[in-house]
Structure 1
């Protein structure tokens, strides 16, 4: 009987001691041989796919990698890349064998990734108005251009290189783990996940407030009970969509991107005849709030690294990530810059630029219709933010579970292949924290995000030095020394600008605390003086009472001794008479 021939490019997987899945997979595959062909094939594909992910993870993070010439079957070369005999023989194999079997998980195309990245970073120009109020329209346009070059582009390039190098769900958790080990990866994960859950809670609250403004304006607000019901319903809906699959998240994000940007496109078309540049010579703030201005620019230009959390669910990451992130940088610059040009032409006074400025400009350009359209876009932007953030933030917990920092979150849904335990955990925490108001956490979140981003950039440089020959389908086209110098310069500049701002705030806080402590001490001293005065008054009162008692006793005793003497004198006088 002729034996079946094995596939020509079927990789052979070594025994996985870490995960202990080989015996289970082998027994399941052998037991499925008696099943019908379709059922057996489906079971075989599912189990092979599960094993492929685990072996891929173990291959990537294993420190004892085999050379290419020792086991040629463990090296998988994707299409379009150099073949194995083109690699230098002394290099180690950086390409996991099982990554080729993960294609069934990669359901996102470039345009889906653009939609997810858009909501991971911005969700529209909403919230950008305060940058004009902080520094004026001229400095806003200059700062926006500089920050796209010095901040957004480096973030996007870093995400593209590391996501293509480590194409697994978990993103920066796994990047930092590979570069610096478990401790700094855990620190980064705690910072990132805590801030992300708090941000999710803010977006849930913003959804209700935007909906209330759309329905009632400023005259009325949705009641607290209905607010809770709406938050619960929208979080449940978004959780279900996330569990159903990553493809529906990508499609929904793309549709919401078009819906959110449509009123701004209408504002650009209708407001183009009113475009002018008088604002260049207009008023500028006498006192520029530079710290607030930089913080808002950073806040509205951050989040590109979140797209790397879903790398294992992207089709052809080597080509998808560079194209999607480059398009996202250009799109976000246009989303901030073009509506602002029309807006400052309509509202040249920087004092009018605060939350709701785009609504006023839309009403002046297109009337009540465009204003309502803009309000609906604002509501949809909050939905898109919450949808995308729960998606990418749940992969942070999933990545932590892959490196054994948290338990059980590696479980994938048996039908949809999504990390449903991580998604449920993220949604439940968001639902619990959505009851509170977290507007004051924006600057604190930015500090945590800045520390996490420093670790990500340091991981990029560290991997360039420690693993110079690692397989990188996309590579930032600069040498590692230049890359280290550029990143050090950017981070140094950011520290120079941010630390005085936060240091000044810290100094003010310390002074306020010292003043409060001094007031408390003075208040305590006044109380002590009052109590002491009362005690002295009581003592003086009692002392005077005691003195009076003594005097009365002395007087009574002297009177009592004088009476007997008078009686004896009277008796003697009577006897003489």
Structure 2
């Protein structure tokens, strides 16, 4: 894991601007960047934004125990990070420091495969993120419905989802710095009751309960989707790279610290919950940690866990919406979306991207937990395949490009690193239901058609597109990675 601490590899070379992207001077009448940007994100807020992009705490892991039993759930949250999370975080560290701008993985794929496939990456990953974000109001209400039964269904539930979405959307509008520091406070509050629960549960732990497993009754689809959903999305922070202070150092370090925090935040609560109470497979579903807290510490601890779960979902919502909306801003700066997506509010946030992401959340919030997880996993898998291809292709095509952080493996090594997560992607896709697969493929087809339609709208001048002047690009010969001096200090 020490490899995350990395160093600057290579040096910027004097080179001509790549022709892969056309740079258009700023329009003097365009007020896209007229508002001064807020303070850049520092290390600690970035760690907790990653924490909430990926995790938010153990809430939502209960289904892994219900699907496969305590042993496989515990082993899964120890082994899965090596198969998926660490490779994804390493790739994000290298590529995010190579292209430190909003847009993240869209820029990686565009640089390796061209703008058309970069757009497809942005389309699939943005929808995946919006679908994922639709889950958090659902989880929020699932944890509160035991205390407020009226939130279980009907108009009270619908109104609660709309009100929650409206409030959290406004917080995103008020600024990324506010979101980052709020993530720190919410993260500490969300994890604290599990530390208390751990100390209280020590006399009640029965180690034999951790070994319970029945391979013949495992719901592999739910088990793998739950693991995958809880341990992916490290790459989402890349869409905020342009908002990070000193990204070449801050981004790799934040990914390293966040990975440790996330794995510990999953494993130890599961260790406590499965060891302190008798195993009942039917009970292990969304919100069960609050019942475990009551059995271990009483009603007061249950209430604390319920409140922690609620605020954790708030943290996940605002972090995900930030990455989704800034991704659209980054795509607009690359000329992939109309330029109004690149306009910032007085708080430095992209209001059009925020409103569009919020609308998608409201539209999709009617889906069930399992449907949401399966649908976002399917689209996310397709997007990750493009990321792996882009990562390897850029290594092969531009071996001498400036990489402020570089995964310490050669070409063969990075290909080998991508094999296990690619195999896992194939398994997740194969286990998807026909309904999820068909809906996801329809979405993919829409993206394939949408890009030419936007090009036609630009040609007819129905929509205005432009490209930001100071974007990062690659030298035509692949000998450098700096189109601007901001790649290096």
Question: So what's the TM-score if we normalise by structure 2?
Answer: 0.78
Q: Say if 2:400 is the partner of 1:465.
A: no
Q: Could you list the per-position Cα deviations for residues 268-313 of structure 1 after superposition, in whole angstroms to 9, with x for gaps in the alignment?
A: 1211232331124545353223333222211110111111110011
| Change over 3 Å in CA distance of 1:235–1:252 after alignment to 2 | same
Q: Say if 2:209 is the partner of 1:279.
A: yes
Q: Say if 2:77 is the partner of 1:144.
A: yes
Identify the structure with bigger relative contact order (alpha carbons < 8 Å, sequence gap 6+).
2
Q: Could you list the per-position Cα deviations for residues 45-75 of structure 1 after superposition, in whole angstroms to 9, with x for gaps in the alignment?
A: x76x98xxxxxxxxxxxxxxxxxxxxxxxxx
Q: Distance in 2 between matches of 1:151 and 1:508?
A: 22
User: What is residue 7 of structure 2 aligned with on the other side?
Assistant: none
User: What is residue 273 of structure 2 aligned with on the other side?
Assistant: 343
CA contact (8 A) 1:282 1:348 kept: no
User: What is residue 69 of structure 1 aligned with on the other side?
Assistant: none
Q: Distance in 2 between matches of 1:383 and 1:430?
A: 13
Moved more, 342-351 or 163-172: 342-351
Which of residues 100, 105, 118 is equivalent to 1:185? 118
Which of residues 9, 26, 38 is equivalent to 1:21? 26
* 1:365 positional shift: 0.9
* 1:472 positional shift: 1.0
User: What is residue 455 of structure 2 aligned with on the other side?
Assistant: none
CA contact (8 A) 1:214 1:376 kept: no
Q: Say if 2:289 is the partner of 1:289.
A: no
User: What is residue 248 of structure 2 aligned with on the other side?
Assistant: 318
Q: Distance in 2 between matches of 1:371 and 1:258?
A: 17
User: What is residue 33 of structure 1 aligned with on the other side?
Assistant: none
| Change over 3 Å in CA distance of 1:197–1:297 after alignment to 2 | same
Q: Say if 2:146 is the partner of 1:207.
A: no
Instruction: Say which SS state the counterpart of residue 24 (structure 2) adopts.
Output: coil
Q: Distance in 2 between matches of 1:331 and 1:278?
A: 26
Q: Could you list the per-position Cα deviations for residues 542-563 of structure 1 after superposition, in whole angstroms to 9, with x for gaps in the alignment?
A: xxxxxxxxxxxxxxxxxxxxxx
Bigger-Rg structure (1/2): 1
Q: Which runs of 5+ in 1 are unaligned?
A: 1-10, 29-45, 51-103, 511-577
User: What is residue 431 of structure 1 aligned with on the other side?
Assistant: 362
Moved more, 411-420 or 466-475: 411-420
Which of residues 311, 314, 318 is equivalent to 1:380? 311
User: What is residue 288 of structure 2 aligned with on the other side?
Assistant: 357
| Change over 3 Å in CA distance of 1:246–1:281 after alignment to 2 | closer
| Change over 3 Å in CA distance of 1:285–1:350 after alignment to 2 | farther
Q: Distance in 2 between matches of 1:126 and 1:243?
A: 26
User: What is residue 173 of structure 2 aligned with on the other side?
Assistant: 243
* 1:507 positional shift: 11
CA RMSD, Structure 1 to Structure 2 (Å):
2.9
User: What is residue 380 of structure 2 aligned with on the other side?
Assistant: 449
| Change over 3 Å in CA distance of 1:507–1:304 after alignment to 2 | closer
Q: Please list, as runs of the form range in 1=range in 2, the aligned pairs for 1:409-424 lying within 5 A after superposition.
A: 409-413=340-344, 415-424=346-355
Q: Say if 2:160 is the partner of 1:227.
A: no
Aligned residues: 419
User: What is residue 368 of structure 1 aligned with on the other side?
Assistant: 299
User: What is residue 257 of structure 1 aligned with on the other side?
Assistant: 187
Q: Could you list the per-position Cα deviations for residues 117-164 of structure 1 after superposition, in whole angstroms to 9, with x for gaps in the alignment?
A: 111111111111121222221222222211111111111111111111
| Change over 3 Å in CA distance of 1:316–1:282 after alignment to 2 | same
Instruction: Say which SS state the counterpart of residue 21 (structure 1) adopts.
Output: coil
